[in-house]
Amino acid sequence: MTENDFVSIGTLALPMLGKVCWKAPSNIALVKYWGKKENQIPANPSISFTLDACATTTSITYTRLEDSAADFQFELYFEGELKEDFKPKIHTFFKRTEKFLPFLKSYEFIIETSNSFPHSSGIASSASGMAALALCLMSIEKEINPDIEDDFFYKKASFLARLGSGSAGRSIEGDLIQWGSSLHIPNSSDLFGIHYPFEVHRNFRNFHDTILLVHKGQKTVSSTVGHDLMYGHPFAKERFSQAHKNLDKLKSIFASGDLSGFIEIVESEALTLHAMMMTSLPYFILMKPNTLEIINRIWAFRDATKTPICFTLDAGANVHVLYPESAKEKAIQFIQDELVAYCENGHYICDRIGKGAKQLSTTIG
Ligand code: DP6
The 10s digit of each residue's pLDDT in 115-154 is: 998 776 777 789 999 999 999 999 999 999 999 999 999 9
What is the per-residue burial (b if ≥16 Cβ within 10 Å, else e) of 229-259? Answer: bbeebeebeebbebbbebbebbeebbeeebb
User: 339 CA to middle of ligand 1, Å?
Assistant: 26
Contact 103, 14 (CB under 8 A): yes
Q: Which of 39, 27, 35, 30 is nearest to 3 (CA)?
A: 39
For 152, counting Cβ atoms within 10 Å of its Cβ (0-12 exposed, 13-18 middle, 19+ buried), the class is: middle
User: What is the predicted pLDDT for the residue at 219?
Assistant: 75
User: What is the predicted pLDDT for the residue at 52?
Assistant: 98
Question: Does residue 162's CB lie within 6 angstroms of at least one atom of ligand 1?
Answer: no
Question: Does residue 223's CB lie within 6 angstroms of at least one atom of ligand 1?
Answer: yes
User: 363 CA to middle of ligand 1, Å?
Assistant: 34
User: What is the predicted pLDDT for the residue at 11?
Assistant: 65
Average pLDDT in the 225-250 region?
97
Atom of ligand 1 nearest to the CA of 126: 3
CA distance 251 to 296: 28
**Bridge-partner residues for 73, per DSSP?**
108
CA 86 from chain center: how many Å? 18
User: 166 CA to middle of ligand 1, Å?
Assistant: 6
Ligand 1, pocket-test mutation among 33, 128, 163, 320, most atoms within 8 A of CB = 33
pLDDT tens, residue by residue, 322-360: 999 999 999 999 999 999 999 999 999 999 999 999 999
Question: Does residue 114's CB lie within 6 angstroms of at least one atom of ligand 1?
Answer: no
CA distance 221 to 232: 18
Question: Does residue 208's CB lie within 6 angstroms of at least one atom of ligand 1?
Answer: no
- Nearest residue by C-alpha to atom 8 in ligand 1: 165
